[in-house]
């Protein structure tokens, strides 16, 4: 029985993780559940799954959650510091980090320091501080299991191949709702347009990132750290059907791919059950339903964010941290309809140009860079 802490249990990844746990109650137990604001759903989940502990990030909602769950013997904490406390519980086997954005960094570091294996759905953690995280995980003997469908695909292709040299990996991208559109079209798209992803059901932030190709840019940086790769070993191809989740090319020219329907429960389950594959009732892929699988190059001129991510990865230091923070603010303001879609990449590029570069940042530098970038991004927007 693996005991799981789900950081962000009310989000898209968190709710699907609970579906996996519900289907395999003989193998997994939800020991800790956390949410930032969604108190009603957190209470509902807790009544069903009966975790040892819950954390509500918003202090104002503590009393509501406490009153509902304390009579059930469930411990209730509130605030950001509580996350860092609960991930250290002795009984936890795996911490599933499903928080959105930069907020996942400190709890993930604390969990690694406590020797917990990580199921990582928060790509920003490695984008911001990949070197620090991977070095710490190595020191502590902690495994990081990727949950993103693309990185899970690479991981699955590498099982049994870890002694063989990777020539390159190929990350697939759906192209989002605006594949094939030009900048003139993109200058007029609305928030509602950008939130209509053709294949995946995800939270608002990651859906906008997918539409702007920033999500793929963040995944490129994440892949660098997860698999110990150089920039020129990471290729992106647009694959509209989202059936081939990613590929690995080895030095003998062989390519291995992982395929399946676009269903996040599959990589979540693999991350939780590894090294075992366990039976599921998820829908099965049928080749007859997809007679044509297509691939094309990404348009780096129209979708500037992907190129900006490659540039930030190449420069290193605190540039990926700047990229991530500027994008989080830009997406936030786009969702508030304060800036246009194309302005997202403009804000990111200006922040990368204006903020000081630190070649070998420590954790405090990442914290400061994140804070300064958010201030600068809002100044640029306003």
Each residue's pLDDT tens digit, 222-254: 999 999 999 999 999 999 999 999 999 999 999
Find out whether 70 and 54 touch, Cβ atoms under 8 Å.
no
What per-residue confidence (pLDDT) applies to 359?
97
* pLDDT of 145 over the 90 cut: yes
What per-residue confidence (pLDDT) applies to 203?
79
**Residue in the structure block whose two tokens are 């246009």:** 340
Residue 151: strand, helix, or coil: helix
Classify domain 2-146 at the CATH class level. alpha beta
What per-residue confidence (pLDDT) applies to 198?
76
Where in the chain are the domains? Answer: 2-146, 151-262+284-299, 316-382
Each residue's pLDDT tens digit, 265-302: 999 999 999 999 999 999 999 999 999 999 999 999 99
* pLDDT of 369 over the 80 cut: yes
What's the pTM value of the predicted model, to 2 decimals?
0.93
What integer best gives the mean pLDDT of the chain?
96
Give the C-alpha separation, 51 to 180, whole Å: 46
Residue 276: strand, helix, or coil: coil
Backbone angles phi, psi at 118, to 5 degrees: -115, 130
For the domain bounded by 316-382, which CATH number is listed? Answer: 1.10.1740.10
Find out whether 248 and 171 touch, Cβ atoms under 8 Å.
no
């Amino acid at each position: 029985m693996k005991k799981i802490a789900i950081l962000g249990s009310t989000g898209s990844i968190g709710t699907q993780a609970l579906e996996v746990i519900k289907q395999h109650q003989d193998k997994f137990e939800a020991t800790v559940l956390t949410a930032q604001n969604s108190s009603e759903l957190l209470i509902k989940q807790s009544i069903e799954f009966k975790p040892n502990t819950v954390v509500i990030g918003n202090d104002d909602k503590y009393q509501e959650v406490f009153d509902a769950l304390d009579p059930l013997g469930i411990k209730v904490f509130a605030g950001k510091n509580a996350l860092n406390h609960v991930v250290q519980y002795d009984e936890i086997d795996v911490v599933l980090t499903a928080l959105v954005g930069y907020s996942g960094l400190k709890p993930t570091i604390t969990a690694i320091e406590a020797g917990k294996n990580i199921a990582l759905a928060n790509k920003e953690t490695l984008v911001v501080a990949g070197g620090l995280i991977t070095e710490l995980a190595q020191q502590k003997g902690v495994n990081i299991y990727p949950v993103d469908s693309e990185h899970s695909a690479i991981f699955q292709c590498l099982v049994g191949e870890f002694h063989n040299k990777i020539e390159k990996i190929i990350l697939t991208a759906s192209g989002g709702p605006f594949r094939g559109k030009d900048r003139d079209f993109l200058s007029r798209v609305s928030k509602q347009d950008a939130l209509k992803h053709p294949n995946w059901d995800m939270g608002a932030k990651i859906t906008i990132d997918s539409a702007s190709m920033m999500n793929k840019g963040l995944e490129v940086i994440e892949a660098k750290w997860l698999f110990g790769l150089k920039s020129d070993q990471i290729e992106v191809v647009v694959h509209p059907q989202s059936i081939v989740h990613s590929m690995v090319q080895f030095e003998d020219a062989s390519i291995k791919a992982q395929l399946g329907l676009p269903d996040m429960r599959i990589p979540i389950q693999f991350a939780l059950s590894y090294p075992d594959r366990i039976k599921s009732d998820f829908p099965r892929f049928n080749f007859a339903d997809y007679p044509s699988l297509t691939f094309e190059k990404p348009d780096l001129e129209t979708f500037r964010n992907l190129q900006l991510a490659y540039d930030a990865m190449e420069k290193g230091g605190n540039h990926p941290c700047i990229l991530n923070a500027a994008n989080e603010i830009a997406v936030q303001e786009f969702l508030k309809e304060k800036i246009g879609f194309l302005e997202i990449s403009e804000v990111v590029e200006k922040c990368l140009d204006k903020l000081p570069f630190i070649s070998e940042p420590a954790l405090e530098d990442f914290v400061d860079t994140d804070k300064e970038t958010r201030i600068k991004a809002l100044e640029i927007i306003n």
